[in-house]
C-alpha cells in the first residue's frame, strides 16, 4: 500500500502543453511549464500511442463489486489509489469529462486521505482539458481555499488563469475573461515570483495587455471617425497611461497628436509628434506624420 501511495502522490506535479488563441491573430502556443504531477499521465499516454489498442475507458458504473454501483444499485466505495489509477487510464483514453467525475469522487469519498489534494487538482485539470471551464475554475477555487500551503498551489493559480485565458471567442464588447486572466497571471507573478510559472505568466500578461490596448485603440478610432473627439481622446490616453509597454504605443501617440491637430492645439500636438519622432522613428505611424 505504501509503495502504491507513494507512486500516485508523485503523479500530481507535470502539466501538458497548453494552448491559447485570442481572435484570428493569436497563434496556438505550446509547451508551457509542466508540473510534475502529470508525469505518469504523459508516460501512460505515450505508451498507449505505441499500441494498436488504446487503454479502455472504464465505465463510471461498475458491477464487479470493487467500486461504483453494483448490480443491486448499491454504491460501493472504492479504494482510492486503485480508483485514481482508473481515472488516469480514462484520461489517457481522452475521456477527460469522465476522468474529472472520478477524480471528484475520490476527493469527496476520501477528503482526509493524502491523495485528496491530488485528486481535486486532477479534477480541475481534467475539466480544463474537457473545455468545461466553469467546472475547472470551481475545482481550483476549492483547491486554493483548502490547500493554501500545498506545493502545487502556484500551479493552481496558473491553471485558473489559463482557464480564463482560453475562453473563446474574445470580442471587442466583452473582454471580461481577458481582464480576469490578466489579474490571475499577475497574482502568479506577485505571489510566486520564483515558481516555474512566473516567466510564462509574464509573457501572457504582455500578450493580454496588447489585446486590451488594441481594443482601446479600435474604440478610439471608431469615435474619431464618428466625429466624437471627446470620446476618442480618453481611449488613446488610456493606452499611453496603462499600456505603454505594448506595440500599440506608437499609434496611440499618433492618434493623440491627430486629435490635438483637429482641435487646433498645435503645441500639444507637436509634443506628441516629437515623442513619436524620437522614440519610434522606424514605425509606420512616424512615417504618416510626414505625409
Domains of the chain, residue spans: 1-166, 170-291
Superfamily of domain 1-166: Tetratricopeptide repeat domain (1.25.40.10)
Q: Burial level of 155, CB count in 10 A (0-12/13-18/19+)?
A: buried
Q: Tell me the three cell numbers of residue 38.
A: 502529470
- The answer to whether residue 157 scores a pLDDT higher than 80 is yes
Residue 76's beta-bridge partner residues?
68
Q: What is the pLDDT of residues 74-103, one digit of tens each?
A: 555 567 888 888 888 998 889 999 999 999
User: Residue 52's pLDDT is what?
Assistant: 39
pLDDT above 90 for 5: no
Span 178-201, average pLDDT: 94
pLDDT band at 197 (very low <50, low <70, confident <90, very high): very high
| Residue closest to 253 by CA, chosen among 269, 229, 231 | 269
Confidence of residue 11 (pLDDT cuts 50, 70, 90): very low
Q: Which ranges of 166-265 would DSSP assign to H, the alpha helix?
A: 176-191, 198-225, 229-242, 249-262
Q: What is the structure's pLDDT at 32?
A: 59
Asked if pLDDT for residue 143 goes beyond 90, the answer is yes
**Residue 190 grid cell:** 506577485
- Quote the pLDDT of residue 282: 86
Residue 212 and residue 208: Cα distance in Å, rounded?
6
Cell numbers for 50, please give them.
505505441
User: What does pTM read for this prediction?
Assistant: 0.72
CATH number (3.40.50.620, 1.25.40.10, 1.10.510.10, 3.40.50.150) of 170-291 reads 1.25.40.10
Cβ–Cβ < 8 Å for 263, 257:
no
Read off the pLDDT of each residue in 179-202 and give the average, rounded to a whole number.
95
pLDDT at 176 over 90: no
Give the three-state DSSP class for 106: helix
Beta bridge partners of 75: 69
Task: Region of 65 please: left (phi>0), alpha (psi -120 to 50) or beta.
Answer: left
Share in percent of the chain as helix, strand, coil (round to 5): 65, 0, 35
| % of the chain beyond a pLDDT of 90 | 57
1-166 with 170-291: one CATH topology? yes
Q: Mean pLDDT over residues 13-26, rounded?
A: 31
Our CA dihedral for 60, 66, 67, 71, rounded to 10 degrees, sits at: 70
**Mean pLDDT on 183-190:** 96
Amino acid at each position: 500500500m505504501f509503495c502504491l501511495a507513494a507512486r500516485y502522490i508523485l503523479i500530481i506535479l507535470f502539466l501538458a502543453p497548453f494552448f491559447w488563441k485570442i481572435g484570428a491573430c493569436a497563434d496556438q502556443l505550446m509547451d508551457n511549464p509542466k508540473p510534475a504531477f502529470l508525469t505518469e499521465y504523459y508516460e501512460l499516454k505515450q505508451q498507449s500511442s505505441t499500441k494498436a489498442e488504446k487503454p479502455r475507458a472504464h465505465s463510471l458504473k461498475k458491477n464487479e463489486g470493487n467500486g461504483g454501483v453494483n448490480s443491486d444499485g448499491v454504491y460501493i466505495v472504492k479504494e482510492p489509489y486503485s480508483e485514481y489509477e482508473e481515472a488516469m487510464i480514462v484520461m489517457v483514453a481522452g475521456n477527460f469529462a469522465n476522468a474529472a467525475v472520478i477524480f471528484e469522487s475520490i476527493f469527496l469519498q476520501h477528503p482526509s486521505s493524502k491523495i485528496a489534494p491530488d485528486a481535486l487538482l486532477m479534477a480541475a485539470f481534467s475539466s480544463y482539458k474537457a473545455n468545461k471551464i466553469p467546472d475547472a475554475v470551481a475545482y481550483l477555487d476549492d483547491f486554493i481555499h483548502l490547500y493554501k500551503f500545498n506545493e502545487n498551489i502556484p500551479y493552481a493559480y496558473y491553471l485558473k488563469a489559463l482557464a480564463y485565458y482560453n475562453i473563446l471567442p474574445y470580442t471587442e464588447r466583452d473582454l471580461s475573461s481577458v481582464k480576469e486572466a490578466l489579474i490571475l497571471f499577475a497574482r502568479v507573478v506577485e505571489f510566486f515570483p520564483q515558481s516555474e510559472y512566473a516567466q510564462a505568466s509574464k509573457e501572457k500578461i504582455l500578450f493580454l495587455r496588447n489585446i486590451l490596448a488594441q481594443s482601446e485603440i479600435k474604440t478610439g478610432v471608431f469615435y474619431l471617425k464618428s466625429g466624437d473627439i471627446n470620446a476618442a481622446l480618453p481611449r488613446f490616453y488610456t493606452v499611453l497611461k496603462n499600456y505603454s509597454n505594448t506595440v500599440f504605443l506608437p499609434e496611440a501617440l499618433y492618434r493623440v497628436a491627430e486629435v490635438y491637430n483637429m482641435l487646433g492645439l498645435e503645441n500639444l500636438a507637436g509634443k506628441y509628434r516629437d515623442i513619436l519622432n524620437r522614440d519610434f522613428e522606424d514605425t509606420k505611424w512616424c512615417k504618416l506624420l510626414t505625409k
